[in-house]
Each structure stands twice: as structure tokens, then as C-alpha cells.
Amino acid sequence: MQGPLAGIRVLELGGIGPGPFCGMMLADMGADVIRIDRPGSPPHPVLQRSRRSLTINLKSPQGVAATRRLAGTCDAVLEGFRPGVAERLGLGPEDLMADNPALVYGRMTGWGQDGPLAQMPGHDINYIAIAGALHAIGGPDDPVPPLNLIGDFGGGGMLLAYGLACALLHAKTSGTGQVVDAAMVDGTAALLAMTYGFLGTGNWRDERAVNRLDGGAPYYRVYRCADDKHIAVGCVEPQFFAAFLAILGLGDDPDFAAQNDEAAWPAMHRRLEQIFATKSRGEWAELFTGTDACTTPVLSLTEATQYPHNTARGTYRTADGMVQPMPAPRFGSTPAGEPRPAPRPGQDTRKVLADAGLPDHDIEELINTGIATEA
């Protein structure tokens, strides 16, 4: 494996969404991520890439014993169960850290390990709603779910990957592991740091579509073009706003003289809506390309993979018949390698158990009794 985490071994106890995303982030950076899958469960072709997979029954004493043996060879474990489930399985942090005191134990939940909602089910939309983010996103009438990017992935999986990296650094210097409690509510709150700072200094109103960065300002919003496609305008700084106005022929227009006069914003909105409706997205993109106006086309998922800047940097690649984002961020001295295909559940069962030091006869017994299975 290549990447800055080469030599780090991580055990991933199944899960969906943010947990596998965390595992993908670590595997992309070179960690040997071993995922325990359920037999026959279809792997996600992107989130579960670059792993090794084994299938083992975590409800059997023999399966738990083998998993603990495996965890003893790892630097970190990550799980996404509800609080208390791992403990009931005999795979909680106290269980595994008793065998491996330097182990970093990462826990991925929506609500966190404690608090009144800790045992309640939920999804990204619920976590970002409680954290305040959902209320701030959308038009003046209704909030709009921003896919599941904020809670599941930005405030969840990526937060846990960051937490594990921090704890692994501490374990390397101290020899002592610890539990990392990554809650999507907490992560979403952290992502709102700048917004809360603006709110606290009187530079943000607790409403939608009335602020500088939420579509309220005419210079930071999306406009519909003549072909019903869209253009994204983000000319926040005065010099970029001036470049934007110059391209539109509005440089001397008195209606646009005071960029941050909120009373003038509605009139600016209407005028710009009318102007952008006169040309197609492609025509506008051609006019703004190479300028300082901070104005770009709004691309679909498919279009983004073919955009010249993205192709020049290799931001996406096609593998296994589908487009995938490449590993990020990029490292100068320890670059990440090409991601490997997601394994079939149980594809590496025998090899992983052997690497953990289980004797051949114990591995055969686990497989013959169906406690562990091979793909």
C-alpha cells in the first residue's frame, strides 16, 4: 500500500454510510482496513473500496474470540453500532483495549454515546436538524436537505477519520489508546463554526436566504439561464464583484453601486435574474471563464467528471465500470495509490485470520462450522 497511513491496520466492524466512508478515507491513504461483513451483503463499490473483507458471526463466542484476536493486531477499530451494542457483543472498548492498550477505538453515531437521544434512531436529516444546520439551508419558505453530505460524511465519517488520526498520533507518542466518540450532531456543529461566529457578532440573521452566503445576497446565489440550466455567482469581494458587473455591462449602473446595501438586494436580484435568462449556461460560462468574477456553471454529477479542470487534476476516475472520486487530499512525499475494487464479503477471510495468528486448524473449524465464511 502507498500513502501516509501505510503500516496502519484498522478493523472496521461493518456498518453503512459514514462508517464505511471513514474506512474509505483511511484506506485511500494507505491504511490496511479490514472490514467484517455479513455473508451475502452487497458491497458498496466506492465506499468499501481498497479493503480486505472477512465474514464472521459476531454473535458466537468463537466469532467474538477470533475478532478480539484480530483486533489485537490492529492500531484502530471503528464501529457504528448504537451505544452499548458493541459492549453486549463483547467487543466494546474495554474488552478490546484490555488486550491491546494502545488501541484507538472509534465510535460513529448520530447522537453520540450519551445524552437524551443517544438510543434513538435517526438519519443525517435528523442530526443536522437538531444541530441547526438544516434550518439555515434553503429558500425563504422551507429548508432543503443538502443531500446527506453534512451529517453523514462531513460531520460524521470525515470527523471520525480525523479523530482516529489524532488519537493514533497520541498513541504513537504515549503508547496509550483511547475512545473517539464521533457524533454527527457534534460534527455538524463544528462545521457551523464560521456561521455561529457571524451570528454572535451580528453579521448573520437567524433566517434563510437573507444573508451573504445563503442566497440572500445577489452576488452569492444561483441564477437560471435561458436553457433552464444554472450559473453559480460567488463574487463576494469588491474587486470580484466589480469584475462581475463589468462583464454584464453593469459597472456604472447606480442600482449596483452599493454591493452590501441589503435594501437594494431585491432589485439587484430581479435585474440579474432577467439578465441571466437571456443566454444559455454555456454562453455565460464562456463569458466568465478566465475572469476574476467567481462565476461558474452549475454542473451535474455526470458533467462534473468531464469538466476540463477536473480532468486535468484527475479528480475523478473510471474504474470497475463506474466513475469514482480519487483519494483526497494529496500528499507530496507519500502519495496515495490507485484505489482497489471493493472486495466481495468474505473474500479475505482465511488470509486475515491467518495474519491475526490463528492456527490453521482453528481457521478450518471456524469455516467448517459456518462461524466464518469465505467468498
Q: Is the predicted pLDDT of residue 1 greater than 80, yes or no?
A: no
Q: What is the mean pLDDT of residues 124-145?
A: 98
Whether the Cβ atoms of residue 160 and residue 106 lie closer than 8 Å to each other = yes
Give the list of residues 6+ apart from residue 274 with CB closer than 8 angstroms, or none: none
Out of 44, 95, 123, 181, the active site residue is: 123
Q: Is the predicted pLDDT of residue 115 greater than 70, yes or no?
A: yes
CA–CA dist 153, 175 (Å, integer): 30
Question: Does 292 qualify as catalytic in the annotation?
Answer: no
Residue range(s) of every CATH 3.30.1540.10 domain in the chain: 220-224+230-297
Whether the Cβ atoms of residue 29 and residue 4 lie closer than 8 Å to each other = yes
CA–CA dist 276, 268 (Å, integer): 12
Percent of the chain with pLDDT over 90: 96
Mean pLDDT, all residues of the chain: 97
Closest CA to 218 of 260, 277, 281, 257: 260
Q: Tell me the HSE value of 324 on the side-chain side, using a 13 A CA sphere.
A: 22
Residue range(s) of every CATH 3.40.50.10540 domain in the chain: 9-191+317-373
Out of 152, 186, 214, 348, the active site residue is: 152
Bond prior to 329 in cis (omega within 30° of 0): yes
Please write the tens of the pLDDT for every residue from 284-329. 999 999 999 999 999 999 999 999 999 999 999 998 889 999 999 9
Q: What is the mean pLDDT of residues 258-285?
A: 97
How would residue 56 be classed by pLDDT, with cut points 50, 70 and 90? very high
Whether the Cβ atoms of residue 190 and residue 132 lie closer than 8 Å to each other = no
Give the list of residues 6+ apart from residue 64 with CB closer than 8 angstroms, or none: 58, 89, 90, 91
Superfamily of domain 220-224+230-297: formyl-coa transferase, domain 3 (3.30.1540.10)
Q: For residue 166, what pLDDT is reported?
A: 98
How would residue 11 be classed by pLDDT, with cut points 50, 70 and 90? very high
Please write the tens of the pLDDT for every residue from 180-227. 999 999 999 999 999 999 999 999 999 999 999 999 999 999 999 999
Whether the Cβ atoms of residue 134 and residue 145 lie closer than 8 Å to each other = yes
Q: For residue 182, what pLDDT is reported?
A: 98
Question: Does 44 qualify as catalytic in the annotation?
Answer: no
Q: For residue 40, what pLDDT is reported?
A: 83
Q: For residue 321, what pLDDT is reported?
A: 85
Q: How many other CB atoms are found less than 10 A from the CB of residue 329?
A: 8
How would residue 39 be classed by pLDDT, with cut points 50, 70 and 90? confident
Give the three-class secondary structure for 70.
helix
For 9-191+317-373, the fitting CATH number among 3.10.20.810, 3.40.50.720, 3.40.50.10540, 3.40.50.970 is 3.40.50.10540
